[in-house]
Amino acid sequence: MALEQAAKLELVKRAAEVRQFAYAPYSKYQVGAALLTTTGKIYTGVNVENIDFTDGNCAERTAVFKAVSEGERSFTAVAVVTSNGGTPCGSCRQVLAEFCEDMAVILGTPDGTILRETTLSALLPEAFHPGQYQLP
């Protein structure tokens, strides 16, 4: 599904708006994410750090977990807003792939500028997908 420019800009805007709520006292790297479902709803998330670093959570995964907790299971696009156009980390990429084999990934800045557009499959080729492997 190709997203119209207005939808892309709205996702970046929503990600930029929530980015201010990121809890990043250690890295100082605030991230906001906005996730578009196939039903048209948008779920947002921010990164939440912890002194133990491994116990923190990324913005993209926060948005996915919020959406899943409200019954959503299928996604169309995610916008990620950082200070420098950073892409989702490997863990976020795999979590997104759990629910969508491919989706638009829009990278933006806090002022709402779209820096780059790519796809989940370009960022995570040959991802693990449900049903791809038979569990015992």
Active-site annotation, residues: 60
* 3-state percent helix, strand, coil for the chain, nearest multiple of 5: 30, 25, 45
Q: Which residues contact 125 (CB under 8 A, 6 or more apart)?
A: none
Handedness of CA 46, 38, 127, 65 (dihedral sign): positive
Using an 8 Å Cβ cutoff, are 16 and 110 in contact? yes
Q: Running DSSP on this structure, what letter comes out for residue 48?
A: B
Q: Which residues contact 40 (CB under 8 A, 6 or more apart)?
A: none
